[in-house]
Structure 1
Amino acid sequence: MKMNFKSIVLLSTLAIGGFSCNNFLEQEENGIPAHEPKANLNMQVTHHDGAPFQTNESSNQRYYDSPGGPVMMQAFYWDVPAGGEWWNTVKGKLENWSNQGVGSIWLPPASKAQNGPFSMGYDPMDYFDFGDYDQMGSTETRFGSGPELRSLIGEAHSQNMEVYADIVLNHNSGGQLEANPYTGTDTWTKFEPASGKFFRTYNDFHPNLDANNDEGVFGGFPDLSHVKGYVQDWLWKSNESVGKYYKNDVGFDGWRFDYVKGFGPWVVKEWMNNVGGFAVGELWDGNANTLKWWVDNTDRTSSAFDFAAYYAMKSAFDGNDLNALNNDMLWKKDSYRAVTFVANHDTDEIWNKHLAYAYILTHEGYPCLFYRDYEDWLDRGMMDNLLWIHKSFATGNTSILHVDNDEYIARRNGYNGNPGLVVYINNSDNWQERWIPTNWSNRQIKDYTGHSNWEPWTQGGTWVKIQCPPKSFSIWSTK
């Protein structure tokens, strides 16, 4: 959910066994061996400082199963251009994203909202209008028309990518005034959507005969009451429900649940048990135990954005103390259910993003890229290189080898024949070197970022000296 200010989060633990994120979890948690990685096609491109980056060579290689697993792209930012062209804009990006290893995209709330052609979708009015009905001041949404959305989803599927819908279940907006016997006032709770589906009255919001309130109210909007059977039927239970229509008719593969602090985790559990797909919840809380509690109380049907990792990275990279990376994080407690991220449409506070992306794309969890970071703000060669490293080597569990104020070194221990990697982050002003233990005996290794030209051999006892440039990172694996 976007707040009223602009602020100044699994799968990669083991080798992926199938494209679907849910198949991945089912296969790996049941111990089914993953597929062998396909042939690596790679070439060298040059970073702005002249150092070579390793990247994927093929210009028409769609996303494919890889040892490190998929990466998610948040395919929007706050206040994307209005005018109904966003679905077409995203569609035009899909081939490149897929080529680089992005396996899924998260779209903004796609249905008609109170602010019509200007809304970012977080004030939902008609869940079944994707830009097909003339209401709330327009036919198209800010992002485009219903046919354009379906075309985007079809193209994503042709690129072997999954598509996640942003679902706002806590509240609604855009209703008409009606006399409300539970408040003794007139409330904006009468909804008669042009789609003809999911009409609502004061009985479907708090307070009502069955419940005065639930876990949270957002911004004074009418607060949906999920204990009501009518609301449950329309959201997830019936064959005509929002969830089943989005999944079975429109083609969405999963869900990003907005503002889950506003309702109990049982709501997500019920949705997932009735509808299925992938799920991640926006529980804006930096406490890893709270995030784990929420995931567990969805019966582990949903992941959560790893806000604990987000705040630890901010402290580490902007606060100049890498010891913060020792903090507890959701990916350390439940890597299968942690979606890690560096920025999103609500919060964009980390300044040293290159170090943060090096962290999430080499560690456990399901990494999520922010559209503007990839498309507009950060060095594309660096990002594509990190994506290539992620899908090539980011396998196995994690061993933290060294942490101090300026240096952080961790090892991914590899899986199913994949060698894994060692990541070295240096936040000091000078080159650093350090001896570290690896899983590789008598093997030559190299830095796949090109930041170091060393290609040392590990000793028989697996130890080797590696180096890292100032305010940067190096990532090592076998040649």
Structure 2
Amino acid sequence: PTPANTLLLQSFEWHTPSPHPTTGQSHYVHLTNLLPSLVENLGITHLWLPPGCKANDPSGRGNGYDCYDLWDLGEFDQKWRRETKWGSKEELMVLLEKARELRVEVIWDAVLGHKTAGDEIDLGEDGSGVWAVEVEGSDRHHELCPPKKIHPWLKFNFPGRLNPSNSNPASTFQWNATHFSGVDWCDREKRNAIFKLISDPATHPRPNPSQLPFPIPGRWAEDVDQSNGNNNYLMFSSIDYTHPTVRSDTLSWSRWMITTTGISGFRLDAAQHISRSFLRDFIATSVSTHRDHHAGKDPFIVAEVWTPEVANQNTFLDGVTPSPDVLVRVFDTPLLNNFARISADVVSSSPNADLRTILLNPSDPAHASLVSLRPTQAVTFVANHDTQAGQSMETPISPDLKVLFYAFILLRKEGTPCVFWGDLYGTQGPHGVGPACQVPTGDGGRSTRSLLPTLCLARNLFAYGEQRDYFDESGCIAWTRAGTWDREGCCVVLSLGGRWTGKRMWVDRGRGERWVDLLSGRRVSVGGDGWRVFEVKGRGVGVWVREGAEGVGRF
């Protein structure tokens, strides 16, 4: 049988409340209750959970990205509470059991690049501080002062987890300044800056007086993104993966997560800031562990690599893939940028608005989408918690165009699409909006409904088989999916124009039959030769399937 299409759901947005304001339930409990309908009505196969390790602020302002202790999943009384923002470990395990029951694979958001909120100030071996040099934020090679001693909060003792009441801790490793490469706070000076941690300057080589000064040796990883001179440092306390104990403990954590919780993979947060050689080892460890415990099946590994240039993602993938038989994925940020570019052109009424450039603009090949070059390694998306309004990577997309872009990622053969919680259920916070892809209902426009659930279900039921593209007009593109012996296909039309338009396309299965648009309910007859003009209203989407296809009655 043809396997069902993969569909990943990001199960949170930046302002997701937990506990839920109406039920008082944690987000884990809310997801457990919601999961059966997500599978049945949307065809969700993979669930991306938020970072669920103990954070500096378990009440939630950092959503878990302010990671304190990887080994505490809401089990120990640390940072003023036992559970994480998202719930307790017990609630997490119930959610994971429900996911296994429904055959949903759960992806864990792994924050591996930094820690925050150490338990004590590290004053070094002699009690006077830790050697560091302050560097420029926009150029980490530019040092702003001579070496000096700082007082960083870099002792992580985990007193809530490593105490006599916990007789068999999963990890006994306690961290100090030697395990980090940089930090953003000096308690002695009571100020924020980027401090590169260094060894005692007395041990450094002396430059020849006739030579230019060279940077003081530090612990920045070199195999990282090279923006800002060196982008190893992102925030908080940056972890040094050249330290063997740090490396060993984090690899042990990956094995522990897979074997004790049953998760099916990782989303690697801020991966471009982490040593690629370490990530290669982390991925290899995760793959071998998952294969051992899941009958040879590979985990789902996807990395966050923010860049407009696909070459940077290619470099990353080549650097972290441990062997040719391992599939590592990356979120396709160049494709997202193409969506935003087309949206901006439409909003400004620019003549450059061209759907044919959605994958690759011939005049700008550096910004080609990853899915056009490495389709199996691209996770495609329209929005996420970083791109929503008010966030660090805010990416404006016109609300009436989101339905086009979601249809594009959900109904095509290439890529693994990810649906954003905020687009499915709306976002909270100061810039909160309702669910995306809204269209008027049949009551004269007094109310609306979202087409996003419909598109998700259409992917589950009808987006199968070989693909034929009709990318011959700037304002209207289309494609057909031929179906397989046991799965149905479809015809999809996207239009930027202001009026009804159509695309003449050929279908093999369904000749001489009636076809229906799942989004509007309109019906047409296809000629015996298989040709038909499939229409769509202006700035809209049409998803046409055989009227007699199994599952049409669900729309």
TM, length-normalised to structure 1: 0.80
Give the deviation of 1:415 after TM superposition: 4.5
Q: 2:454·2:519 contact (CA, 8 Å) conserved in 1?
A: no
Q: 1:202·1:208 contact (CA, 8 Å) conserved in 2?
A: no
Q: Secondary structure at the match of 1:190?
A: coil
Cα separation, 2, equivalents of 1:443 and 1:304:
42
CA gap of 1:443–1:230, structure 2 versus 1, over 3 A, is: farther
Equivalences for 1:23-42 in 2 at 5 Å?
Answer: 35-36=1-2
Equivalences for 1:230-241 in 2 at 5 Å?
Answer: 230-236=245-251, 241=252
1:107 matched to 2:49? The reply is: yes
Q: Which residue of 2 aligns with 1:387?
A: 456
CA gap of 1:217–1:294, structure 2 versus 1, over 3 A, is: closer
Give the deviation of 1:311 after TM superposition: 1.4
Cα separation, 2, equivalents of 1:108 and 1:162:
14
Give unpaired runs (5+ residues) of structure 2. 20-24, 125-129, 133-148, 163-170, 182-196, 200-216, 225-230, 288-298, 347-352, 361-367, 389-395, 427-434, 439-448, 549-555
Find the structure with the greater CA-based Rg.
Answer: 2
Cα separation, 2, equivalents of 1:392 and 1:445:
18
| 128-137 or 397-406, larger mean C-alpha shift | 397-406
CA gap of 1:86–1:302, structure 2 versus 1, over 3 A, is: same
Give the deviation of 1:120 after TM superposition: 0.7
Cα separation, 1, equivalents of 2:466 and 2:154:
50
Q: 2:478·2:503 contact (CA, 8 Å) conserved in 1?
A: no
Q: Which residue of 1 aligns with 2:337?
A: 311
CA gap of 1:333–1:459, structure 2 versus 1, over 3 A, is: farther
Q: 1:173·1:221 contact (CA, 8 Å) conserved in 2?
A: yes
Q: Secondary structure at the match of 1:116?
A: coil
Match of 2:273 among 237, 258, 262: 262
CA gap of 1:295–1:403, structure 2 versus 1, over 3 A, is: farther
CA gap of 1:253–1:169, structure 2 versus 1, over 3 A, is: same
Q: Which residue of 2 aligns with 1:62?
A: none
Give the deviation of 1:290 after TM superposition: 2.3
Amino acid at match of 1:426: S
Residues 108-139 of structure 1 show CA distances to partners (whole Å, capped at 9, x for unaligned) of: 11011112323411111111112222221211
Give the deviation of 1:463 after TM superposition: 3.1
Q: 2:490·2:545 contact (CA, 8 Å) conserved in 1?
A: yes
Cα separation, 2, equivalents of 1:353 and 1:289:
26
Give the deviation of 1:403 after TM superposition: 4.1
Q: 2:493·2:503 contact (CA, 8 Å) conserved in 1?
A: no
Amino acid at match of 1:108: P
Q: Which residue of 1 aligns with 2:91?
A: 148
Give the deviation of 1:443 after TM superposition: 4.7
Amino acid at match of 1:271: F
Q: Which residue of 2 aligns with 1:361?
A: 410
CA gap of 1:290–1:105, structure 2 versus 1, over 3 A, is: same
Amino acid at match of 1:179: L
Q: Which residue of 2 aligns with 1:71?
A: 7
Give the deviation of 1:274 after TM superposition: 0.9
Amino acid at match of 1:230: T
Q: Which residue of 1 aligns with 2:474?
A: 405
Residues 185-239 of structure 1 show CA distances to partners (whole Å, capped at 9, x for unaligned) of: 2222211113233311111111466962023245541111112211111111xxx
Q: 1:113·1:126 contact (CA, 8 Å) conserved in 2?
A: yes
Cα separation, 2, equivalents of 1:70 and 1:220:
33
Give the deviation of 1:419 after TM superposition: 5.1
Q: Secondary structure at the match of 1:102?
A: coil
Residues 288-337 of structure 1 show CA distances to partners (whole Å, capped at 9, x for unaligned) of: 23223322322254200011111112222453222331422111112211
Q: Which residue of 1 aligns with 2:424?
A: 374
1:177 matched to 2:226? The reply is: no
Q: Which residue of 2 aligns with 1:24?
A: none
Q: Which residue of 2 aligns with 1:248?
A: 259
Give the deviation of 1:182 after TM superposition: 3.8
Amino acid at match of 2:276: P
Q: 2:465·2:483 contact (CA, 8 Å) conserved in 1?
A: yes
CA gap of 1:326–1:275, structure 2 versus 1, over 3 A, is: closer
Residues 413-466 of structure 1 show CA distances to partners (whole Å, capped at 9, x for unaligned) of: 544564533210012111002323445583535244242623222453x43221
Residues 22-78 of structure 1 show CA distances to partners (whole Å, capped at 9, x for unaligned) of: xxxxxxxxxxxxx24xxxxxxxxxxxxxxxxxxxxxxxxxxxx52xx1211111111
TM, length-normalised to structure 2: 0.69
Q: Which residue of 2 aligns with 1:190?
A: 155
> RMSD in angstroms over aligned alpha carbons?
2.3
Q: Which residue of 2 aligns with 1:11?
A: none
Give unpaired runs (5+ residues) of structure 1. 1-34, 37-64
Q: 2:234·2:273 contact (CA, 8 Å) conserved in 1?
A: no
Give the deviation of 1:174 after TM superposition: 0.9
Equivalences for 1:319-334 in 2 at 5 Å?
Answer: 319-320=345-346, 321=353, 322-327=355-360, 328-334=368-374
Match of 2:28 among 71, 84, 87: 87
1:456 matched to 2:486? The reply is: no
Cα separation, 2, equivalents of 1:381 and 1:116:
33
Q: Which residue of 1 aligns with 2:104?
A: 161
1:225 matched to 2:293? The reply is: no
Q: 1:111·1:141 contact (CA, 8 Å) conserved in 2?
A: yes
Identity %: 22
Corresponding pairs, count = 410
Q: Secondary structure at the match of 1:128?
A: coil
Ranked by relative contact order (alpha carbons within 8 Å, sequence separation 6 or more), the top structure is 1
